[in-house]
Each structure stands twice: as structure tokens, then as C-alpha cells.
Structure 1
Amino acid sequence: MRTLALVALLLASGAAQAMQRPEVPVMSDDEINATLGAGEEIENRVDGDLNGDGDIDTAWIVRGEDKRFLHVQFAARGEFDLYHEPAGNAELDPYPLGPAEMTITKGVLVVKDLTGGTTAVSATYRFRGEKAKPKMRLIGLDATLYSRTYAHDGAEMSWNLLTGDVIATKMKLVGSGENANYDKSAVKRFKRPVKIAYMEDTPSAEDTLDLAMKGK
């Protein structure tokens, strides 16, 4: 009975401590707006736990004249205060065909971006937060170059930065008019060296695709 009573006391103590743990407030739009420069605006934002600490982090895209950046801040706890700290930023193509789509799934930030014109580049970036320090790491990059009017061939690639695996596909234009389509049968697989790429190191999707098609 004494053992059971002790276990119950410990459980109650743990529950009480958990209840006393204050939540870090989610970043407000006003806080983000305070970081903007002249002519800049928030294109999109998403909130969720990116580093597995149970607190809500925030990612947003800032768009200005001829520039566009993705930013992330982590919720953080000091000895006496709750705050947010920068965890990374990445330069994006400044001329999107619409607002980027941003989601957080199982702790991974996924950013889907469409840029260009009749010749477009569709890119999907995947980032994950580091637990040991406030840093976001690029873990995946997919890119597709294609003609929105089926005027020329295209190409696509998928790069897993955690394994180094790259899949590069030539998209051959077949048919015409309403029957136009892409043949994706020419597929090449190879590996790149595995190394950490933080959000600041995020490469251009179009340049990365070009290298992939050359087997680099």
C-alpha cells in the first residue's frame, strides 16, 4: 500500500508540473509585421511544432520588390521568459505564379512553390528543425520544369538529402493539341554525397534540376 501511495504521489507531482508548464504564445501577425521592411508583405504563414519540443513554431514568406524570403522562428524558453528565436531563412524566386503553399506534416515544413511563366518550375522544399540548436535543415527538394502550353520537353528530379538519392527524369513531349502529354520513361538514378544543408544553404530549384539532368 505504501508503494502504491508513493507511485500515486509521484504521478500527481508530474501531472502538476506539466500543468504548470506555460505555453509559448504563437507568434502574432503584428510580431511578424514588425520585422518587415518598406514595401514588404507577408505572402503566407504556417504554425506547428518543427523541432519536437511540443511548442508551436512559425514559418512565413515575405515578399517585396524583386525579393522573396522564407523565414522560420522557433518558440523558445529562457529561465524567466518565453520568446521566439530565428531558426533559418531561405531566398526564394522573387516572381511566383501565386502564393506558395506551406504545410507542416509530422514536424516537416513543406513549401510548394510555382514560378516562371508559360515555362514554369514547380518546386517542393522539405525542411526539418534540429533539436540541439535553433536551425532548420533542408532534407528534400523536388523540382519540375515544364511547359504550361505543352510547347517543349520538360524535366523533373527528386533529391533526398538524408540519403543522397537523386531521381532525374526527362519528360519527352508527345502528341499535340488536346492530346499533348509528357512521356516520363527516361529515368536516371544516382547518389550525391550526404551532407547537412541548412535552410540558408537552400539552392535554386532550377539550378539543382539542371545539375541533376547532367547527372551531377
Structure 2
Amino acid sequence: MDKNKIEQKKSGTMQEGVKNDTTLRLTADLEGNYLLDERTSEMKWLGIFYSPAGGSVHRVAKMLKKKIGADKVDMFCVNDIQVGKLLDYKNLILVCSSLGRSTWEREQRDRWAKFFPSMRKISLKDRFVALVGLGDHVTYPKNFVDGMGYMAELVTELGGTLVGKTSTDGYVYEDSTAVIDDLFVGLPLDEDFEPEKTDTRISKWLDMVLPEFERI
């Protein structure tokens, strides 16, 4: 067997064009999805990946799925999957809470903190990735949606193409690592102090992002 294939099989990740010889295993997650531990040559259109479960991030992920169409998108909490699941999809929406770089590295309650090191083992080349970050512009005005900024760095490092950048107009904050050239790298939401704006912000953002996904 080719050495490269052996290494990919050992790592549990599969790239395009490599056949997976492992036995299929089915497990159900909290969204009712059945997860196959097998990569397929034909990728699906869109996957939403979020963490943590049970709070505002989860609620926003469900709003995204409903607005896009439940039959068009799959949704997973990263607690329930292996990193190779990302490779099943041509387009990704990643939803995270507002955590700074130092917090990503030490925080254990949010599965993203454990998931990020595993992501460094895969490539997101030829995939479009859109980010949604939840923040608190009142309590943490100097670190507004910083977690989304760190996530953008990683996606770029892995070769993914970021889409869905958002104007800073209409947002009140002091500083954010998620702002580059006066644009947020994704969609910022504040469910703590601006929940009434979430629905409209998501709808406008999807009007911009979904056509980008359709281009692939």
C-alpha cells in the first residue's frame, strides 16, 4: 500500500481521491444526525459546525439552518464529531462564542478549544468557509468577537477561502481582532444585548453568503 495512504488511514483523515477502507460506523448526535466515519469522494453542499451546545451559539446555529433550509444543510456540534467530518462538505459555516486567543488555548468547556489543534491536521483548500461569532459588546468591548478573529486566522492558514465579511457599521465596540481593513471577518452577533437585531443580521448576511456557496 502507498505510504501516503497508510499515513492518512492512521490519522483518521482522508483527502480527495483516496479510498477509505475502514468499516462504516454509525452514531447519532444530539441533532439526530447519523455520523458515518467514512470520507466520500462526492462532497455535500453545506455543513454548519458549532460549539458549545445548549446556549446562544446553538440557538443561532439552528436559526441559520432554518433560514437556509433544513433539507439543504447538515448541522453538527463539534463535540460529536471527528475533525475529518469537515472534509465531507464543499462549504462550511463555523459558529463560535467570543473567546480571545489565550482563552482558546486554555478553555476546556468549549469544544472548539480542543477541536482547533485537530483541525491543523487537515487542509481546507478549495473550500469556502463563513464564520459567525457571538460576542458581548458591553461587558467585553475591547475583545468583541475575538474568537471569530482567531478562527479566521486558522481557516486561512489551512487554505480555506473566507466569505461573508461584514461591515462594522451599526456595531458598537472598542476593539476586535476579528476586524481587518474595517470589515469583520464574518458575522458578529450579540445575543446578550442586541438579540432583537440577530434575525435581520442573519438574513442579510445569508443573502450575501449563499450566492458565494452556490458558485462552487
Tell me if TM exceeds 0.5: no
Structure ID, larger Rg: 1
Q: Which structure dedicates a bigger proportion of its chain to helix?
A: 2
Q: Normalised by the size of structure 1, how large is the TM-score?
A: 0.24
Greater strand content:
1
Comparing both chains, which one has the higher relative contact order based on Cα–Cα distances under 8 Å and sequence gaps of 6 or more?
A: 2
TM-score w.r.t. length of structure 2 = 0.24
